[in-house]
Amino acid sequence: MKLNLLLNPLFIKEVQGKVELDISGIEIDSRRVMQGCLFVCLPGTVYDGHQFAVQAVNAGAIALITERKLSEIPSHITTVQVPDARRALAILADVFYGRPTSRLKLIGITGTNGKTTTTHLVEHIFNENDKRTGLIGTLYMRIGNYREQTVNTTPESHVLQRNFHTMLEQGAEYAVVEVSSHALDMGRVRGCQFRTAVLTNVTHDHLDYHESMERYSDTKSLLFSQLGSAYGDEPKIAILNADDPVSPLYARKTAAQVITYGVKNRADIRASEIQMKPDGTSLQVDTFQGRTQLNLKLLGIFNVYNALAAIAVSLSEGIPLQQVKRSLEAFEGVMGRFEPIYAGQDFTIILDYAHNPDGLENVLQTAKTLTHGKLYCVCGCEGDKDRMKRPIMARVAASYADFAIFTSDNTRSEDPDSILRDMLEGLEGGPIPSSGYTAVLDRREAISQALELAHPGDCVVVAGRGHETHLIAKGQRIPFDDREVILDLLGSKTTLTMPPESWMEGNVVVHVPEASL
């Protein structure tokens, strides 16, 4: 695309150099620049893209978007100075890739926990019902058999728009996207014409970035307020968790039609008669399209909420309730989300991504309910991130587990001992209903100790990393996959499909109390 056409939507800009240039791509990382690229100098919290402008030029960039003048740039390179490079990036990416979200039906899902599972549920239901759907989130971007790894839960705007363009090329009608609070705050989803916005929940997380729960919650609300105020041929829909305290505020902030789901409070889509068994969850669902009985392969009340949100999205797109039911009941789960690891052992192992207090509590509460023997928990906290949640995480683990083992996660630039000390502060100054805990710096050793402690009927929860395959420490990415470590310690290379009989004995059924109306 010609640079002059690309720049047309930018009203405030100072251009120096030729604009009749053919732009081959847009990049913000100088290491990814190829001949003919437009390089956007993004200021960041760690690195400033302006510092890498020369490297970008040397790699083949023929034009730069900057927020200030750069004296070291050769005179033949076109520079465009703008007030806000990140905002400009979103505008340019939307134009460069042909405004792809104007041709896609876009569904955004935000919340502290449940985004990954809910996006996968929606993707599964839609694809099962002849609505070709792409997905972007923590695990990957995929459409059909095509897949790309993602670096962030929600990619930067130029990657996001490129992904949408790829989806269209692959015949997608819909795209479902995990929308993180960071992405909303940084403007990564600017230019995305969302059709539907979904809230899972808002609980403690990312306060290292947002500083307070009020600011965190307010940032999440942007997805709903940015749906727009116009009512056109394609209605905008806000789907809210009726049991989350922020939902009434979000409902006031959006002009879109609101659909609610929940368990405890009145809702347009509501679950009741919830029973959890070792092999799944059964529930009755009342909706504005009728009533049905669901038998999910997923475990946990948190997955009941995820399923209800997916039902709301599906019904709003005209998929009949009974077809939604069939698709949901066939869904097997998501990698690293309450994932059982069976390799012939006579106790249960659950792998989960839970990395904040609410997520960990949900996982341990469900695991404890379905465990005949003792519950062991291995967990850690990441470095260079929210320190306030560390003691809370430790207290949650020690409160639910019979024995907790605190260990390392992605320590990044921090001292791992310091992170563990922060966690252990949560166990001071009050009784903990637990038989004990310990701290083991080496994560493999921590997992090994938990497996050695477990007996028939026990359960080991390894939390915090889920699908992740590397530990990040001191600027290095060290191969470390909890799943592979567990299988190696058990002397196995594969995961079996059947759970240990000891966990199934007695056919435990847990009745979730009826909601108060």
Q: What pLDDT digit, counting tens, does each position of 353-402 carry? A: 999 998 999 999 999 988 989 999 999 999 998 899 999 999 999 999 99
Query: How large is the average pLDDT for residues 250-278?
Result: 96
What torsion do the CA atoms of 77, 78, 81, 84 make, to the nearest 10 degrees?
-90
List the structure tokens of 120. Answer: 């996968």
pLDDT at 211: 64
More confident residue, 199 or 495: 199
Top-tier CATH class for 339-504: alpha beta
DSSP code of residue 420: H
Residues flagged as binding site for ATP: 111-117
pLDDT over 70 at 115, yes or no: yes
* 358 vs 396: CA distance, rounded Å: 9
Residue (of 137, 133, 165) closest to 149 by Cα position = 137
* 489 vs 445: CA distance, rounded Å: 10
pLDDT at 233: 79
- First CA to last CA across the chain, in angstroms? 57
* 177 vs 108: CA distance, rounded Å: 5
Q: What pLDDT digit, counting tens, does each position of 468-488 carry? A: 999 999 989 999 999 999 999
pLDDT over 80 at 214, yes or no: yes
pLDDT at 515: 44
Which of the listed ranges 300-309, 338-347, 383-392 does the model predict with the highest average pLDDT?
Answer: 300-309
pLDDT-based confidence at residue 295 (cuts at 50, 70, 90): very high
E strands along 424-517, which residues? 437-439, 459-463, 470-473, 476-479, 510-511
Give backbone dihedrals phi and psi of 273, rounded to 5 degrees, phi first.
50, 45
pLDDT over 50 at 183, yes or no: yes
Instruction: Calculate what percentage of the chain has a pLDDT beyond 70.
Output: 92
pLDDT at 92: 98
Instruction: List CB contacts of 3: < 8 A, sequence separation 6 or more.
Output: 18, 19, 20, 21, 22, 23, 38, 63, 78
- Are 224 and 238 in contact, with CB atoms under 8 Å apart? yes
pLDDT over 90 at 431, yes or no: no
> How would DSSP label each residue in 169-185?
HTT-SEEEEE--HHHHH
pLDDT over 60 at 512, yes or no: no
Query: How large is the average pLDDT for residues 90-118?
Result: 96
pLDDT over 70 at 102, yes or no: yes
Instruction: List CB contacts of 264: < 8 A, sequence separation 6 or more.
Output: 242, 243, 515, 516
User: Where are the domains positioned within the chain?
Assistant: 3-96, 100-330, 339-504
Q: 């929210």: which residue's tokens?
A: 386
pLDDT at 206: 56
Indicate the helix (H) or strand (E) that contains 26: strand 25-27
Query: How large is the average pLDDT for residues 505-510?
Result: 44
Query: How large is the average pLDDT for residues 262-268?
Result: 97
pLDDT at 505: 43
pLDDT-based confidence at residue 229 (cuts at 50, 70, 90): confident
* 335 vs 468: CA distance, rounded Å: 10
- Are 28 and 89 in contact, with CB atoms under 8 Å apart? yes
Residues flagged as binding site: 30, 111-117, 152-154, 180, 188
> Residue 62 in 3-state DSSP?
coil
The 3-state secondary structure of 203-232 reads: CCCCHHHHCCHHHHHHHHHHHHHCCCCCCC
List the structure tokens of 252. Answer: 């006031």
- Are 465 and 336 in contact, with CB atoms under 8 Å apart? yes
What is the overall mean pLDDT for the chain? 92
pLDDT over 80 at 140, yes or no: yes
pLDDT at 203: 84
Fold held by 100-330: UDP-N-acetylmuramoyl-L-alanine:D-glutamate ligase (3.40.1190)
List the structure tokens of 282. Answer: 């059964």
Q: What pLDDT digit, counting tens, does each position of 34-75 carry? A: 999 999 999 987 889 999 999 999 999 999 999 999 999 999
pLDDT at 387: 92
- Are 407 and 378 in contact, with CB atoms under 8 Å apart? yes
Q: Count CA within 13 A, CB hemisphere, residue 214.
A: 0
* 184 vs 182: CA distance, rounded Å: 5
Q: Is 29 exposed, middle or buried (0-12, 13-18, 19+ CB in 10 A)?
A: middle
pLDDT-based confidence at residue 215 (cuts at 50, 70, 90): confident
* 422 vs 383: CA distance, rounded Å: 11
Total residues found in the chain within this entry: 517
> Residue 101 in 3-state DSSP?
helix
Query: How large is the average pLDDT for residues 477-506?
Result: 74
In this prediction the pTM is 0.91
pLDDT at 250: 95
pLDDT over 60 at 496, yes or no: no
* 39 vs 21: CA distance, rounded Å: 13
| Residue at 422: amino acid letter | D
Specify the CATH number of the domain 3-96: 3.40.1390.10
Angle CA 179–181–183, to nearest 5? 65
- Are 89 and 64 in contact, with CB atoms under 8 Å apart? no
Which of the listed ranges 220-224, 273-277, 321-325, 331-335 does the model predict with the highest average pLDDT?
Answer: 321-325
* 365 vs 184: CA distance, rounded Å: 31
